[in-house]
């Protein structure tokens, strides 16, 4: 091999080697850089979210301190499902048999701490479920922020009527009004037996963008939870 040939070959070899090493190095660097960039972006997103969440919390607190969380909440459902009993349990923490028939509407107010440090003032509109009050009910629905849609776990008919109630609420209070679906008188299931299909009730609620909760105004079970859950849903739907 001549000297010239050797030099060309050596240089060529060096060149290939240099190119390959360069390419590998570039690849590693780019990968590392990409990784680094990804990490930086992730940190930024995380911090931004934290800041947004933090800001939301501050806004909520200021808002609740200024009592701007004043929410009109409807209690709806057929007659004698326990609407008045539920609101009495919730506000006064008591249960009384023989509440007089709700004529038209009763309005009661209570502050709810729906999350730690976040308070909303609910004005609860306990609406008469009787057929004959139908003509005035629609005017009570106006401006409502949310609703508890109640049926009686021991009377199948009141469960069957819930779709009609939901249509009525949505018609007069707005299509997207948050609501919680309540099966009340859970304390009686043991004696009376279950007259509805729980899974069906649950999937009905979920399909309508809500949740299903079983309560007892008599024992107090899940009553606070129902009102708190509704408040959370209302606030979250506005944020
Ligand atoms: P309404 O406001 O929906 O019309 P009410 O219903 O609160 O007036 O309740 C109707 C009846 O159901 C009342 O019985 C009440 O005591 C009873 N009731 C309500 N909630 C419960 C519950 O969780 N468990 C049991 N066991 N009974 C409940 P009366 O006998 O007064 O008609
Ligand atoms: Mg009543």
* Residue 126 Cα: closest atom of ligand 1: 2
Four-point Cα dihedral 39, 44, 50, 52, nearest 10: -150
Tens-binned pLDDT, residue by residue, of the chain (239 aa): 555 555 555 555 555 555 665 666 566 656 667 667 767 766 776 666 666 666 666 666 665 555 467 899 999 999 999 999 999 999 987 777 666 666 567 889 999 999 888 889 999 998 876 556 666 777 888 899 999 999 999 999 999 999 999 999 999 999 999 999 999 999 999 999 889 999 999 999 999 999 999 999 999 999 999 999 999 999 999 87
Which of 191, 182, 192 has the alpha carbon at shortest distance from 216?
182
Q: 41: CA distance to ligand 2 center in Å?
A: 56
pLDDT at 139: 82
Q: 81: CA distance to ligand 1 center in Å?
A: 6
Question: Do residues 158 and 126 lie in contact, with contact meaning Cβ atoms separated by under 8 Å?
Answer: no
Residue identifier of the C-alpha nearest atom 25 of ligand 1: 185
Enumerate residues lining ligand 1, CB below 6 A.
Answer: 79-85, 97-99, 102, 129, 184-185, 187-188, 216-218
Please tell me the CATH code under which domain 69-237 is placed. 3.40.50.300
In a 3-state reduction of DSSP, which class is residue 147?
Answer: strand
Domain boundaries, the chain: 3-66, 69-237
Q: 82: CA distance to ligand 2 center in Å?
A: 7
pLDDT at 156: 96
- How is the beta sheet containing 105-115 ordered, strand by strand? 105-115, 118-127, 70-77, 146-152, 179-184, 212-214
**Pairing mode, if any, of strands 105-115 and 118-127?**
antiparallel
Of 74, 83, 95, 99, the one to substitute when testing ligand 1's pocket (max ligand atoms within 8 A of C-beta) is 99
pLDDT at 50: 60
Q: 152: CA distance to ligand 2 center in Å?
A: 13
Long-range contacts (CB closer than 8 Å, 24 or more residues apart) made by 163-169: 165/76, 165/77, 165/78, 166/208, 168/76, 168/137, 168/138, 168/141, 169/74, 169/76, 169/141, 169/144
Helix (H) or strand (E) holding 205: helix 198-207
pTM of this structure: 0.74
pLDDT at 118: 86
């Amino acid at each position: 091999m001549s000297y010239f040939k050797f030099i060309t070959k050596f240089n060529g070899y060096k060149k290939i080697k240099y190119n390959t090493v360069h390419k590998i190095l570039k690849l590693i660097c780019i990968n590392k850089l990409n990784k680094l960039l990804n990490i930086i972006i992730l940190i930024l997103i995380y911090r931004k979210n934290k800041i947004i969440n933090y800001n939301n919390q501050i806004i909520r607190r200021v808002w609740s301190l200024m009592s701007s969380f004043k929410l009109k909440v409807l209690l709806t459902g057929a007659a004698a499902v326990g609407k008045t009993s539920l609101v009495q349990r919730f506000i006064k923490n008591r249960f009384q048999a023989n509440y007089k028939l709700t004529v038209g509407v009763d309005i009661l107010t209570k502050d709810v701490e729906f999350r730690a440090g976040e308070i909303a003032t609910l004005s609860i509109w306990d609406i008469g479920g009787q057929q004959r009050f139908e003509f005035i009910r629609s005017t009570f629905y106006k401006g409502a922020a949310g609703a508890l849609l109640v049926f009686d776990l021991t009377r199948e008919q009141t469960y069957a009527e819930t779709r009609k109630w939901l249509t009525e609420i949505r018609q007069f209070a707005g299509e997207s009004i948050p609501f919680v679906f309540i099966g009340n008188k859970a304390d009686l299931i043991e004696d009376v037996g279950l007259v509805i299909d729980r899974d069906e009730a649950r999937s009905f609620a979920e399909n309508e963008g809500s949740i299903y909760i079983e309560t007892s105004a008599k024992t107090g079970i899940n009553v606070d939870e129902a009102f708190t859950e509704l408040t959370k849903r209302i606030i979250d739907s506005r944020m």
